[in-house]
Amino acid sequence: MKALVLSGGKGTRLRPLTFTCAKQLIPVANKPILGYVLDQVAATGIKKVGVITAPETGQYVEDYVSDGSKWALSVDYISQEPLGLAHAVKTAQPFLAQDSFVMCLGDNVTGQGLNAFVQKFQKERLDALIILKEVDNPSSFGIAQLDNEGNIVRLVEKPKTPMGNLAIIGTYLFSNKVHKAIARIKPSWRGELEITDAVQEMINMGFTVKAEILNSWWLDTGKKDDILSANAKILDEYIERDIKGNVADSTIDGRVKVEASAKVVNSTVRGPCIIGKNALIENSFIGPYTSIGDNSKILNSNLEYCVTLENVIVTDVERLEDSLIGKNAKVTKNQKNRTIKLHIGDYSEVEV
């Protein structure tokens, strides 16, 4: 069995950050989202992974994943224009050959690994296993209808009239029969080969298509607020108290990770949160669900529920919250008594 990890797309909903970074590389808890996906792939014992990349951001992905040895994976890179998920599978067919495979979106994070899904797929000799999650707003997703035995009988993309609330979340397992279905479908009104159409065609062709309902959390990190939610969820579940850096005249409350060479001086840090390598926190308050990137400086400021990437400088800001700050950005204070919410890209400078 192989894996196909989709790390292409243009990330338009996360601009300006994604002008200089692939959206799958935006960190949550100071680790790129793609890293968590590859962790879960590696945990299944799968060794061969195809990574779909976009021409604009593919080099960033390759620089991070490299040869895959960090995860004990063998990686092939496959460039694709963003013409749909089924088109990605079609583009990857030479890599996939006749093998079955698990397909994951590189910017989706779940609280449940892939092992149980792989075991079910193999044990029941399925042609497709689609992972679903109950959602509150089904009209925003592809929705599946199931029969009493867990077989998918119909898929509808963003139904105007609710037909259920089981959404397709972006984790799929396929046999090589999916290629026959993709060969029979046509582009949608968006000009894309839709994976929902391919799965529906598999059903029409009489292949065995089942579903599994995710029993944990799922976050699609396509927008700023999604990144902040994923950061909070991962900090909440995985961060443990681990003080490796220098702490002087400061209070560290709860589950806080202070990386090596970081300095916390005359400040309060309240977990769960993480302070990156060689960061400096001075005369500041760092509140819960905040990730401070490597080599950043937070001086005379208060931050809470924020993600800062690498080499960020925040100075004299009375209160910064719900903010995503790109690499090498600067945020400085010019007025008093304001709460600020920001989404700014790499190399930005803001005076407020």
DSSP 243-307: E-SEEES-EEESSEEE-TT-EEES-EEESSEEE-TT-EEES-EE-SSEEEPTT-EEES-EEEEEE
Please state the pTM of the whole predicted model: 0.87
pLDDT at 338 over 70: no
Residues forming a β-bridge with 343: 324
Residues in the chain: 352
Please provide the average confidence, as pLDDT, over all residues in the chain: 88
Q: At 15, is the pLDDT very low, low, confident or very high (cuts 50, 70, 90)?
A: low
Statement: 239-351 belongs to CATH 3.40.920.10? no
Contact 211, 150 (CB under 8 A): yes
Q: How many CB atoms within 10 Å of residue 8?
A: 27
d(CA 121, CA 1): 11
CATH topology of domain 2-223: Spore Coat Polysaccharide Biosynthesis Protein SpsA; Chain A (3.90.550)
Going from N- to C-terminal start, the domains of the chain cover: 2-223, 239-351
Contact 339, 319 (CB under 8 A): yes
pLDDT tens digits along 137-196: 888 788 888 888 778 888 887 777 777 888 888 899 999 999 999 999 998 888 888 898
Mean pLDDT across 297-323: 93
Q: At 343, is the pLDDT very low, low, confident or very high (cuts 50, 70, 90)?
A: low
**In 3-state terms, what secondary structure has residue 1?**
coil
